[in-house]
Amino acid sequence: MASKKRVRWSVFGIVVVMGLYASSLRVESIRTSLDSFGSWCFSAGMHLQQELLSPFNQWCKYGASINALHERIDRLQKERDTLWEEMVKREGIVTFGQDTEEIRTYARRYKHEGELVLAQCMVKEGTPDQQVMIVDKGARHGVTTSMVAVYKNMLLGRVSEVQDWHSKVTLITDRLCKIAAYCVKTRAAGIVEGVNKIDELQLSYISHLSTVEMGDEVLSSGQGLIFPRGFALGTILHCEIDGLYQKIAIKPCIDVASIDFCYLLEKGAVSGFDPAEVAEERQNKRELDKP
């Protein structure tokens, strides 16, 4: 009887142990299944998040990229504008130097006392009423109404009106402009007057007894208070007797329309200026210009 009870308890113990073992196996399987299911849920959630948030992230990145590109474009445009401004400034300096080199080189050949003001010819008006020119230098640059405008060794006119930043020059072709002058070859002296024509001057008060040659150079004599001596005015085209005097037409030595820059100077500012050298140089230039 006792042996049967032991056998029965042994069997019960074995069954319990097997049950517990089976239960542990089932619990482990359930845990593994739960872990796998949790991993799948996490992975699915991550994929779902990426799918849902990807357009938004792309839009944010696109917006940031656009803003960055706009900022870069603005920066590059500012840099380009700065470089462009610097290039234009340098080109302006180079162009100004090239345009004025000839007249500045000519001015350096002569001794001068006082200041020579280099001015740009801004506006030119040649009408039957007046022959004037506006230059970009005025009282703030030291310009006064006692100055004259010259180009190389040629006389352009006198400063007749001065403002702070610009001045008006009455050209030698204007009727109000009268210049004491003489002929280089014959030394006949008279007064050069404008006739309000851009391509003609008149030499007056030359006696009918004086000798005048066609093509002779006419220079300023320096008599008077304004115009200096030795600057070219023009060449004699033709003459005719008019009572006690001769009526002499002169062709101006320069076309004012072709002038972009000039010097403004006081009478007496230039010394060491040889009128004979001026006439000889102009004669040589005419010879070179002949075909």
Number of continuous H segments (helices) and E segments (strands) in the chain: 2, 14
Q: Which residue carries 């002038």 as its tokens?
A: 259
Q: Which residue carries 């074995």 as its tokens?
A: 14
Asked whether the CA dihedral 131, 146, 98, 272 is positive or negative, the reply is: positive
Beta carbons within 8 Å of 177's beta carbon, 6+ residues apart = 131, 157, 158, 170, 171, 193, 194
pLDDT on residue 25 = 56
Residues 221-225 have a mean pLDDT of: 83
Band (pLDDT 50/70/90 cuts) for residue 179 is very high
| Residues 137, 262: Cα–Cα separation, whole Å | 11
Residue 1 in 3-state DSSP? coil
What's the predicted TM-score (pTM) here?
0.61
Residues 250-268 have a mean pLDDT of: 86
| Residues 241, 206: Cα–Cα separation, whole Å | 10
pLDDT at 27 over 60: no
Beta carbons within 8 Å of 272's beta carbon, 6+ residues apart = 110, 111
Band (pLDDT 50/70/90 cuts) for residue 116 is confident
Fold of 111-286: Thrombin, subunit H (2.40.10)
